[in-house]
Structure 1
Amino acid sequence: MSEYMSQACVACVQLLSTVPPSVFLLSMAAGVIGFVALVYIILFAVAFRPRAPFPEEKTYRTLSEDGTPTRPQQLPCWQESWERDRQNTNKRAVLDIEKPELFMSVVVPAYNEEERLVGMLEETADYLQHAYGTLADQASNEQGKGKNDSVRQRKTGNGHVADEAPSKGWEILLVSDGSTDRTEEVAFEFARDHQLSLHPRAHTGPWSPDKHEGVHIPPGSIRIVTLTQNRGKGGAVTHGMRHVRGKYVVFADADGASKFSDLGKLVTAAQKVEDSEGRAVAVGSRAHMVGSEAVVKRSKLRNFLMHSFHLILWLLTPPATAKVKDTQCGFKLFSRASLPYIIPYMHSEGWIFDVEMLMLAEFAKIPVAEVPVGWREVKGSKLNVVWDNVPKVVPLTCHGHSRPVPHISFSSIVEEDQYYLISACKDNNPMLRDGVTGDWIGTFLGHKGAVWQARLSADANIAATAAADFSAKVWDTHTGECLHTLQHNHIVRAVAFPIQTNPQVLATGGMEKKLRIFDLTRSSSSASANDGSSPPISNNDDNLNSNAAAVTSYEIGPGVHGGTIKSIIWNTDYNILTTAAEDRKIRWWDLRSRHPVVEYSVEGTIGSCELNVLATRPNEAGILSVAAGKSVYLFDGAMPGKLLKKVDFRYEVASVAVNNETGRFVTGGAGEDTWARVYDLHTDEELGSSHLLLLFYRVFLGDVADEK
């Protein structure tokens, strides 16, 4: 075998020797270009789309003049007004953004930085106040010049006359990225000390160990923005940069590792390279320029990672970005005019977001300058080069199924913080999992056809499944034993247990167009469902074997359903059942009269129908959510037929789920629309969307997704 391989290798070498060098090099170049193009296409196809900010994340708090925290106030957002103007004009045009209100904005992303933040704020506020002062200082300077004083206008490196106003004023936007410690409290305490006192006590920072007196800052200089969910450093920076008011914007790490007094170098460099539109980016660099202190003051590990990462970027990024020696320095300055070309198009929210910013700047032909800055490694870094770039949209991934998963459902909390989930699958094998961890518990074996729906009883001791083998099965979740096989005359699509009681009865429905109620406490020798409208109930209390059949108590509303029953919901009121059928009708049934009490027609094919009750609140009425056509219908869970609201969309909706506690609902697109979208339950505003959400929400909501 080895001799054969060696002969083959020799033959290949001889064949290559006959190829002209120019053709060989051309082929190699084409291969490399093709590979790079393929990588870009794949990355574009799976690109993560960040969620939109939640309404509460568009507000800030600061300190009033008396030192008390203000109530949340609306953040100014240049991007929203810019996008609104853009939609009213040519969408391809890049319009000017709102004029700056002050000279310098500093965005500080912070996640659990209570121990390191105060030193960074001390050095930042000290430099900003001494270098840029306040807008009041600018006004007094202009008055002092008088009317006859000539004011020279600064020209950029390209001869562009730059607007000098404003030349004073600063702000710090501290973006707390889902912090769980005292980060925000520490920021408020710092602002209070430096705002109320004319001679505040200084705090030791990485670059100011011997400073004894701090600087007095004006009220409202530090604004604190709270992200309710951790987004990552890139997400926090991007969010903050949407709401800046400065002529220049810099982001700096909360640990104070970068020498903030080097900000003046960044401003000077940016002003030198600004183009005719005032666009420029200045990048702090630690690794390659004369004057950089980074190489000798950083650990060997971080230097190794930096150089290795740069090698990869040199191979994969466009030319200008590849020339940047240190893309990951957390100290970068942007002119305000450059923001519309970068911020609206950001996708990455992990530590690699800097590279995307530089690539967007290159694509927009924005000048980029590199500037040597001081750097000191500060203990306590939270960087995780792997996990920080895994999108946090998918909190749990469950492997095991080999075919599409049409339905999953959760139990109520049965023990302290413990609940379960069950998944139906077209591979015939429904699975039970731990709802907290997603760990596999067991697979229910016995169906000979695709399982369309699976549900757990209120106490999670019993499971029921509906399948294409013309049967519904009832299972013991502790042993996996099949307790009942309920034979039908057609495909069973839906099953339902009562929500608040023990699993003594079960409702089924499907392509028979019949709604049946089974009594699980009594058995019969017949394995087929009795089609009588109200058959007698047997008194046989013998133990049931694995293939025993439960007696059909009765069939509700024979001949009423005009299509396949796709979903059955047992309301919190034990006497009320809800069915959703392919005849585009939602029906509420009273078990006492066995007739529908309300019937509601929807506009479109019904994709899903679920009663959304929190596991922590099993006694609440909940919201009945229905996805049909291009609309979502939300009904009061306690009052049959009471429509709370109807929300229309531009796309076909396959599924919907509601979380009333967080005030949000999620939709899954139908057909080729593989997006899952998150909306505000009260305003219907879209908060975020992603293909990646498909792995979680479409498994939970849709009828075509794979569980992976």
Structure 2
Amino acid sequence: MASANLRQVVLTCSGHTRPVVDLCFARSQSGKCLLISACKDGKPMLRDGVTGDWIGTFEGHKGAVWSVHMDPSATLAATGSADFSAKIWDLSTGNEKLSLPHKHIVRAVELSPDGSQLTTGSADKIIRRFDLSAGDDKEAFTFDGHHGAVKYVRLLGDGKRLLSVGDDRSIRVWDFISGECIHTQQLPGIPQSLEISANGEQFVITMDRKVTFWSTVNYQMMREFELPCKMYAASLHSAGEFFVCGGDDFKMYKMNYETGEEIESFKGHFGPVHCCAFSSDGELYASGSEDGTVRLWQTIVGKTYGLWKYVDANGSDAAKAES
């Protein structure tokens, strides 16, 4: 059992030289938890998602990397960059498979569950869908309607709808087959993050000091919570009982989903938190920061898991963890 007397021991993953702006977890077919990070240094990195150990760096972009995504089986990775390109990588070898040119900075990437298609969002306000079997420059479809840079794109669970948010302060839902926009919702602030919940029933958006939860059925807001500072990222645990978020004050907050009350908070970063995500098993979460590090946090402090070892029966801090 976890003890309230134990302190959080964070695993710090160094290697990046500029702000870390996006993260993605996936579990390989062999069962290994993997974590990929996007950074303004232009060199996305792959790590062991439990220990934080470095596995490899993807070399090839000539500008900041703004977005990363892996397919559910951790076979392929996609990256979007300020060098006006999106790239597809073979995770088993680290080799570049495809480079897809764009007309402006690529802010968002999303692989389809089977890895056959890539959807991108760009600073030119256009969403693009690529058939990856068609080669380097075969553009399959475009979704045109945003009036500002497209910051995030996410496929909804049925695979027939696409969700996007942009600097035009809007949420848009698209019919993934026809490309038609079927819903538009204006927001009071610029969205800073977008996540689809593990059960696919809601999506999470941060804007200003708020973390908001929305239905993927009727696209209406379900919950809205205000935090002490501007929030750049939030992630809902798969159990749906709590979420984590981070922003300008360098802290990671763990919050009750029903009430919005703070459960606990931890400070480890030395700069604003730009991104966060739970691992697929929900045992830990990762955060990326302006300070150039990725940090791994234990969901239940005091539980023996990975490098977190708790052996003191008296409940004192007996964690031994390094990264």
Per the shorter chain, which TM-score range?
A: 0.7 to 0.9
Match of 2:15 in 1: 400
Q: Which amino acid aligns with 1:398?
A: C
Shift of 1:472: 0.6
Query: Residues 655-666 of structure 1 correspond to what in structure 2 (within 5 A)?
Result: 655-661=233-239, 663-666=241-244
1:621 and 1:441 mapped to 2: Cα distance? 30
Matched, 1:230 2:3: yes
Q: TM-score, normalised by structure 1?
A: 0.38
1:442 and 1:580 mapped to 2: Cα distance? 31
Q: Which amino acid aligns with 1:460?
A: A
The structure showing larger relative contact order (alpha-carbon pairs under 8 Å, at least 6 residues apart) is 2
Secondary structure of the structure 2 residue equivalent to 1:609: strand
CA contact (8 A) 2:28 2:75 kept: no
Q: Which amino acid aligns with 1:644?
A: M
1:682 and 1:660 mapped to 2: Cα distance? 14
1:512 and 1:687 mapped to 2: Cα distance? 40
Shift of 1:674: 2.1
Match of 1:668 in 2: 246
CA contact (8 A) 2:21 2:289 kept: yes
Q: Which amino acid aligns with 2:259?
A: T
Match of 1:447 in 2: 61
Q: Which amino acid aligns with 1:409?
A: C
Query: Residues 384-533 of structure 1 correspond to what in structure 2 (within 5 A)?
Result: 391-394=7-10, 396-412=11-27, 414-416=29-31, 418-498=32-112, 501-523=113-135
Match of 1:631 in 2: 210
Q: Which runs of 5+ in 2 are unaligned?
A: 277-286, 295-323
2:187 and 2:242 mapped to 1: Cα distance? 22
Structure 1 runs, 4 residues or longer, greater than 6 Å off: 693-697
Match of 1:601 in 2: 186
Shift of 1:475: 0.6
Secondary structure of the structure 2 residue equivalent to 1:606: coil
Secondary structure of the structure 2 residue equivalent to 1:625: strand
CA contact (8 A) 2:272 2:290 kept: no
Count of residue pairs the alignment pairs up = 284
CA contact (8 A) 2:272 2:289 kept: no
CA contact (8 A) 2:210 2:226 kept: yes
2:102 and 2:173 mapped to 1: Cα distance? 23
Match of 2:293 in 1: 707
2:93 and 2:53 mapped to 1: Cα distance? 17
Shift of 1:569: 0.7
Structure 1 residues 434 and 622: alpha-carbon distance in aligned structure 2, compared to 1, 3 A threshold: farther
Secondary structure of the structure 2 residue equivalent to 1:555: strand
Secondary structure of the structure 2 residue equivalent to 1:401: coil
Secondary structure of the structure 2 residue equivalent to 1:563: coil
1:432 and 1:603 mapped to 2: Cα distance? 36
Q: TM-score, normalised by structure 2?
A: 0.82
- Structure with the bigger percentage of strand: 2
Please point out which of 164, 167, 171 is paired with 1:579.
164
Query: Residues 192-591 of structure 1 correspond to what in structure 2 (within 5 A)?
Result: 229-231=2-4, 235=5, 391-394=7-10, 396-412=11-27, 414-416=29-31, 418-498=32-112, 501-523=113-135, 549-556=136-143, 558=144, 560-591=145-176
Structure 1 residues 398 and 408: alpha-carbon distance in aligned structure 2, compared to 1, 3 A threshold: same
- Structure with the bigger percentage of helix: 1
Structure 1 residues 666 and 612: alpha-carbon distance in aligned structure 2, compared to 1, 3 A threshold: same
Secondary structure of the structure 2 residue equivalent to 1:521: helix
Rg: which structure is higher? Answer: 1
Q: Percent identity?
A: 34
CA contact (8 A) 2:106 2:120 kept: yes
1:406 and 1:705 mapped to 2: Cα distance? 11
Match of 1:612 in 2: 197
CA contact (8 A) 2:21 2:67 kept: yes
Structure 1 residues 695 and 704: alpha-carbon distance in aligned structure 2, compared to 1, 3 A threshold: closer
Match of 1:621 in 2: 200
Give me the CA root mean square deviation.
Answer: 2.2
